[in-house]
Structure 1
Amino acid sequence: MTDAEPAAGFYERIKAYEGQSAAVGGEGRDPVNSPMIRHWCEAMGHLLPVDGSAPPTMLQVWTMAGLSGHGDRSGPYDELLGALDAAGFDAVVATDCEQEYVRPLRPGDRIVFDAVIESVSPRKTTKLGIGHFITTRMDLRSGGEQVGTHRFRILKYAPAPRKAPGKRPRPVVNRDNAGFWNGVSRHELLIQRCTGCGTPRFPWLPGCNSCGGQAWDTVKASGSGTVYSYVVMHHPPFPAFEPPYAVALVELPEGVRMIANVTGVPYDKVRIGMPVELEFAVVDDELTLPVFRVREGV
């Protein structure tokens, strides 16, 4: 169906799911609790709220079902996904979410939620392939009062034919990170620094995570670093990449961490704590990437 015009009436059939329930009276597996708040703040690099409340952006955390799920998987939402699967739109990617906050969540709050299929888009053509965007809206309550709204959007699509292997994917360059990539083209690794509070940040962002300030300058990285963590990529295979290879989270003395390839040793010899040095890999005439080479003698 996806290689030609869709079957007559297909979009009308899946659009009919708009307004139907995706969940009714769902309950969070655990109440809002201090250990989860602490773990989340540590993972995100945020300070713990002084009043003990949960950061607003944790809103979805309290609704997650875990590996065991919430139970019944035979409602309208699963019927919709099944219809898309059967029509050839069998791949899925999360595209974005929107959240609205009514009041802070505090330890002890128990979350109850309802979810509705808010919209089903007409067929769209994307770089990933042809498909439909599905948006669900989740309304969250605690103690009978609304505490927030979470909208989540996915793309169910038929993957586009793969391009010929060999060309490395291009980074997405926009007005927020163009300065970083301009620096890389000059073989400079530039780190943003808030001119209000002095906090360094990476990746590049339009505002400071610490004080919210929008004024910033840059610091040129010294080039030294340490492997803070790493993974070895085995699967899935991807054009222009030859697994297995190591990808590391490198800690820089300037106070930030960045993800990059590690070179200079076999993938299975990379270790946490290894000292590394910055170098620039010229992929082709259009693309240069910062990578980190393990220091000689390590």
Structure 2
Amino acid sequence: MNDEELHELADKQAALGEVRGTPARDPVNAPMIRHWLDAMGDENPAYLEKGVAPPAMAQVWTMPGVRRSAKDRSPVDDMMATLDASGYTGVVATNCEQTYHRHARIGERLTPATRFTELAGPKKTALGVGFFATWKVTWYSEDDEPVAEMLFRVLKFRPRAGESRPPEKEQAAAYPLQPAINQDTAFFWEGVKQGELRIQTCADCGELRHPPGPLCPHCRSANLAYAVASGQGTLYSYVVHHHPPVPGRQTPFVVGVVELPEGVRIVGNVVDCPIEEVSVGMPLRVTYRRMDEQLVLPMWMPGEA
């Protein structure tokens, strides 16, 4: 499709209004809440004591899984498929804004409703020319009461020719995926350039946390410091990324959650290890890879530091 036809399809999908999906396969339940709290490191006992789910779990209850049926399709699916067919195969999420009306209660079954709202573009971005697609999902209770809402926006872009070049040929050009560096995270990236894995600490209570933030979640202090981690870690969890294409990377590659002995977890690529040999619990050590003239990324390789 050309650009005009893509906008016509977007207008058609938006005109459908809010399209109800199928109710969640399972009701809100304690085992899933317990798994979520464990994965997030959330020790607040109030959720299970009160029989409610953490608000951010809204999407968990209605995710359709890998084998989606026709009844699980929404106006967004047709739009995304058409953009793929038109050559805009790259994708990166740009916005996720959530609104919570109340807690989902254990035992109730939620139903999602999706409204496609806007297609903006084509626009030239650092990743390539693409379209910004926006939609809104609302989760309803069995009494038709809105429980939570999520506005989601992605950039669907046309990958630039040559993005699959070998890594050694990419070093002369700027790496296409640059981190967002601000006053809260600058210390971390400066440390990486110097070969240090810096973890933010609270200068008042000493609590360590990652990713960095402006306030200590433990005592709410804004007095910040950092500690230099040992560089050792254990693979807590991982995924193997096959699709969609990622600019500057060759698939498949491993993205891991690494647990540090200092008590925090950090996300990074697992490298220098065959994918079939990657396993939860394996010891890792940090390594630093230069991606371009300015950017160095911390990654993780097998072995003790």
- Using the size of structure 1 for normalisation, the TM-score is 0.77
Corresponding residue for residue 51 of structure 2: 52
1:167 alignment partner, one of 167, 170, 174: 170
- Shift in Å, 1:55: 0.9
Corresponding residue for residue 38 of structure 1: 34
CA contact (8 A) 2:231 2:286 kept: yes
Q: Aligned partners of 2:302, 2:71: CA distance in 1, in Å?
A: 50
Q: Aligned partners of 1:194, 1:100: CA distance in 2, in Å?
A: 29
- Shift in Å, 1:182: 1.0
- Shift in Å, 1:180: 0.6
1:186 alignment partner, one of 194, 212, 216: 194
Residue aligned with 1:18, SS: helix
Q: Give the 5 Å matches for 1:147-296.
A: 147-163=147-163, 165=166, 166-168=169-171, 169=175, 171-175=178-182, 176-195=184-203, 197-210=205-218, 213-229=221-237, 249-260=257-268, 273-278=281-286, 280=288, 286-291=294-299
Deviations 1:44-102 (A, max 9, x none): 22224413321111121122222343643676544434543454334444333211111
Deviations 1:191-230 (A, max 9, x none): 1113455331223233445555543211122344444456
- Shift in Å, 1:246: 6.6
Q: Aligned partners of 1:107, 1:205: CA distance in 2, in Å?
A: 32
Q: Is 1:134 aligned to residue 137 of structure 2?
A: no
Q: Aligned partners of 2:285, 2:82: CA distance in 1, in Å?
A: 51
What letter matches 1:37 in structure 2? Answer: I
CA contact (8 A) 2:121 2:131 kept: yes
More helix by share: 2
Distance change >3 Å, CA 294–CA 123, structure 1 → 2? closer
Q: Aligned partners of 1:134, 1:196: CA distance in 2, in Å?
A: 43
- Shift in Å, 1:134: 1.8
CA contact (8 A) 1:115 1:139 kept: yes
What letter matches 2:191 in structure 1? Answer: G
Corresponding residue for residue 120 of structure 2: 121
Corresponding residue for residue 103 of structure 1: 102
- Bigger mean CA deviation after superposition, 50-59 or 241-250: 241-250
CA contact (8 A) 2:21 2:71 kept: no
What letter matches 2:170 in structure 1? Answer: K
Corresponding residue for residue 23 of structure 2: 27
What letter matches 1:156 in structure 2? Answer: K
Aligned length: 293
CA contact (8 A) 2:127 2:247 kept: no
Q: Aligned partners of 2:79, 2:113: CA distance in 1, in Å?
A: 17
CA contact (8 A) 2:21 2:72 kept: no
CA contact (8 A) 1:22 1:114 kept: yes
What letter matches 1:100 in structure 2? Answer: T
Q: Aligned partners of 2:83, 2:247: CA distance in 1, in Å?
A: 27
- Shift in Å, 1:27: 1.6
- Shift in Å, 1:264: 7.9
The structure with the largest alpha-carbon Rg is 1
Identity of aligned residues (%): 40
Q: Aligned partners of 1:274, 1:195: CA distance in 2, in Å?
A: 32
Residue aligned with 2:149, SS: strand
CA contact (8 A) 1:247 1:261 kept: yes
CA contact (8 A) 1:52 1:106 kept: yes
Distance change >3 Å, CA 20–CA 211, structure 1 → 2? farther
Distance change >3 Å, CA 48–CA 127, structure 1 → 2? same
Q: Aligned partners of 2:281, 2:223: CA distance in 1, in Å?
A: 34
Q: Aligned partners of 1:180, 1:94: CA distance in 2, in Å?
A: 23
What letter matches 2:263 in structure 1? Answer: G
CA contact (8 A) 1:231 1:246 kept: yes
Runs of at least 5 residues in structure 2 that lack an aligned partner in the other structure: none
Runs of at least 5 residues in structure 1 that lack an aligned partner in the other structure: none
